[in-house]
Structure formats: C-alpha cells, structure tokens
Amino acid sequence: MKNLRSMLLTAAAVVISAVSFASQGHATVFQADGLFSDGSVLGGTLSIDTIAGTVTASDLTIGAAGTFSTIAFQFNFGSPVGYSVRVDNVAGTQEFSFGILTDSLVGYAGGDLCGENSIGCFSSIYYPLLDPSDSTALSSGGLIGPSAGAPEPAFLFLCGAPFAFGLLCFNSRRKHNHSCAKA
C-alpha cells in the first residue's frame, strides 16, 4: 500500500509537470518597431505560434491611435505577397492592416513588415474604420524575435519542482522506510 501511494504521488507530479509544460504553448513574442509616414511610431508586441504558423495575440501600439489587440483577420497569401494580418484598436475605431514579409509563419524568427516602398506585398496601413480612405502608410518596420537565452526562472521551476519533489520522496522513503504520504 505504501509503495502504491508513493507511485501515485510521483505519477501526479509527472502529470502536473507535463500539463504545465504543454500549457506554455508554442507562442513566440516578437517586438514590433516601425515608423509611419505621419511620424507615428509602431511599437508593442505580436505573439506568433511558430509551430502552427498563426498570429495568436496582438499588443501593437501606434501613437495616438492606441493599442491594437483584436485580431480581425489573418491569411497566408504566400510568396511574394506574404502573411497578411488586420487588428483593431481597443476602442474599435481604428484598424491596422499589415503584411509580414515571409512565405510562412512556421519557424518564423522575425523580419520586415511590408512598408510603403516594399515590392510585391500589400502596404501596411492604419486607418479609421469609418473612413478607410484616410489611411497612413508604414514607412519602415519589422518584428524582432527574442534572442536565444537562458530559460526564465518560472519555467525552470514549473518543470523542475515536480522532479525535485519525486527525488525528495524517493530519498526520504529510502532513509526512513516510509512513504511521502505520511509526511
């Protein structure tokens, strides 16, 4: 019975670790950087699932137009047009339509956005939803991927804590000849 209890505790720790790891998803957060023809600055972040090849979240900002967080449309037109995305601002009054210069977002690591001087892709613009003809073009801009570095401490804890707990239980059981369930 004691052995069964120890095995169940260890199995639970492994399942919790796997669920924590799986819930991380495959989204990569890219930093946006750009300048529009009216002097407005593009900033914020765009999250892309580089396994599925889709945009999963937007937190893009454009000067006075605000934060663009509602994904309205996305489609991969392929070469030479690229990947097209439309996001609406929080107030629902402006839309930012932009192209990512890539054949696919699968394995995407960052790069240029379609600008007013880009060849072969739709120009990236933002505009009021009530008057789309009053648009402002992106002069230049891009998405900068995260640099490969050490994993975040929280991620290491989520993955390592159940493993450490299992080792502690195993060692405690060997030294004191009882299961962790009694502790």
Domain presence at residue 21 = no
Dihedrals φ, ψ of 122, to 5°? -70, 135
Residue 108: give the domain boundaries. 27-144
User: Lowest mean pLDDT: which of 75-84, 106-115, 149-158?
Assistant: 149-158
Are residues 101 and 162 both part of a single domain? no
As a whole number of angstroms, the distance between CA 135 and CA 127 comes to 4
Residue 38 lies in a domain: yes
Q: Say yes or no: 54 and 136 in one domain.
A: yes
Q: Do 171 and 157 share a structural domain?
A: yes
- Position 3 pLDDT exceeds 70: no
Does any domain span residue 6? no
In a domain? residue 10: no
pLDDT of residue 167: 46
Cα–Cα separations (whole angstroms), residue 181 to 5, 91, 120, 125, 160? 7, 53, 65, 61, 20
| Assigned token pair, 48 | 């892309």
Indicate whether 167 belongs to any domain: yes
The pLDDT value given to residue 158: 45
Q: DSSP assignment, residue 129?
A: T
The pLDDT tens digits for 82-140 are: 899 999 999 999 999 999 999 899 999 999 999 988 887 888 999 999 999 999 999 99
CATH number at 97 reads 2.40.128
Shared domain for 157 and 140, answered yes or no, is no
Interval 67-91 mean pLDDT: 92
Please state the domain count of the chain.
Answer: 2
Residues 135 and 54 in one domain: yes
pTM (predicted TM-score): 0.68
